[in-house]
Structure 1
Amino acid sequence: PTPRVVRPFIAPPSPYAAGHRGLDLAGHSGQQVLAVAAGVITHAGSLAGRGTVTIEHPGGIRSTYEPLAIDTGIWRGRAISTGQVIGTLGVGGSHCAPAVCLHLGALRQGTSGQWSYVEPLFLLLAGEIVLLPSP
């Protein structure tokens, strides 16, 4: 996908184990970061010194973005449209240093209500994914 993936998602073997809970996407400092889909902001602020935004989308999916300089019009509870600017890519806190990248995460809400990280690549690919029953 565009932008280029520089580090893939690596699912942890258990919820608290090490892993890479998102994709790192190539970018440059000051580049605009766009919402992958319409939804409602559930978090916009600083976590561990990095600007982060979380958007909840219909169907029990959340997308997460970091590190950002968060746009002034972005706040918790605000509705966001697909492709809307949510901030600019920041240098501070990027774990791709000395390069700059956006860490894009995806979470899916299970039937128990628990949120789990999933492979976020589907957020960047065009088209609809349909699961068919197995024989």
Structure 2
Amino acid sequence: MRTGLRQAVALGTAVLVFGSHWLPGRSTPPPSAPVRVVPAPVFRWPLDGPPRPVRRFDPPPLPWLPGHRGVDLAAAPGATVRAAGAGTVLFAGMVAGRPVVTVGHPGGLRTTYEPVHPEAHPGDVVALGAPLGVLLGGHPGCPTAGASTPTGGCLHWGARRDREYLDPLALLGLGPVRLLPVTAPVEAGIPGDDGSRRDGDADGRRVRAGGSGFEGRPVRDGDPT
């Protein structure tokens, strides 16, 4: 009788000290797996600076109407243009007579840079701030050199997710942007069967061999983007 009483007292003391999971015959649950936290993508200015915006984001109310699908940043021709975020170069070449570089980022986001003489090539994996090429002069609508714009040039920087245009300044926390979870891999653009390039076209314009267009609207040199 005393032996049974001593065992009961010892069991009760152990439960008070170690908790109910110590009870004989009760398995200890395995430790939960650590939660993997995926950091949000980090972005920076595509120019050493920070540069001064000379024309801000002004998207058109309808895709085929004129607008400004990005921002223009003052910079001197010859300035190094850098990747605003880590990703993969999707396109580097001519679009509607202008040299363009497009970088794909996780989550379906793309950034475009023009006019840029490319030093990177499609398929290149680039880190944050990696050089993409050299800024050229002559971007349409860019102010010429003067007292207000001594550099005499500017970089057109665009951003979009799928076919939705975004304000690239929002990537820097300077405006609203809707970032999706980082899950989708980045795939380089490949030419379509009809000679068009599905990915890498500047600001969503669809480029065809021997011509260009955007959702049925012809894209001409000098069209505002």
CA distance in structure 1 between the aligned counterparts of 2:140 and 2:77, rounded to whole angstroms: 10
Partner residue, 2:221: none
Partner residue, 2:126: 80
Quickly say closer, same or farther: Cα 1:13–1:32, change in 2 above 3 A: same
1:90 aligns with 2:136: yes
CA distance in structure 2 between the aligned counterparts of 1:51 and 1:125, rounded to whole angstroms: 28
Q: CA RMSD in A?
A: 2.0
Aligned counterparts, 1:62-81, within 5 A: 62-71=110-119, 74-81=120-127
> Given the two structures, how large is their TM-score scaled by the length of structure 2?
0.50
Deviation at 1:92, TM superposition (A): 3.5
Deviation at 1:15, TM superposition (A): 1.1
Amino acid at match of 1:32: T
Aligned counterparts, 1:1-135, within 5 A: 2-71=50-119, 74-98=120-144, 99-109=152-162, 115-125=163-173
Which deviations, in whole Å up to 9, do the C-alpha atoms of 1:4-56 show, x marking residues without a partner?
11100001101111110000001001000000000111110011222100001
Q: Answer 1 or 2: which has greater strand percent.
A: 1
Q: Which has the larger radius of gyration?
A: 2
Gaps in structure 2 of 5+ consecutive residues: 1-44, 145-151, 180-225
CA distance in structure 1 between the aligned counterparts of 2:70 and 2:123, rounded to whole angstroms: 23
Quickly say closer, same or farther: Cα 1:124–1:27, change in 2 above 3 A: farther
> Given the two structures, how large is their TM-score scaled by the length of structure 1?
0.82
Identity %: 44
Quickly say closer, same or farther: Cα 1:33–1:55, change in 2 above 3 A: same
Quickly say closer, same or farther: Cα 1:27–1:94, change in 2 above 3 A: farther
Amino acid at match of 1:43: F
Equivalent pairs, count: 122
CA distance in structure 1 between the aligned counterparts of 2:104 and 2:91, rounded to whole angstroms: 9
Higher RCO structure (Cα 8 Å, ≥6 apart): 1
Amino acid at match of 1:22: G
Deviation at 1:94, TM superposition (A): 4.5
Paired residues of 2:118 and 2:134 also in contact (CA < 8 A): yes
Paired residues of 1:67 and 1:94 also in contact (CA < 8 A): no
Partner residue, 2:16: none
Gaps in structure 1 of 5+ consecutive residues: 110-114
Q: Answer 1 or 2: which has greater helix percent.
A: 2
Partner residue, 1:112: none
Paired residues of 2:139 and 2:153 also in contact (CA < 8 A): no
Deviating beyond 4 angstroms after TM superposition, the runs of 4 or more aligned structure 1 residues are: none
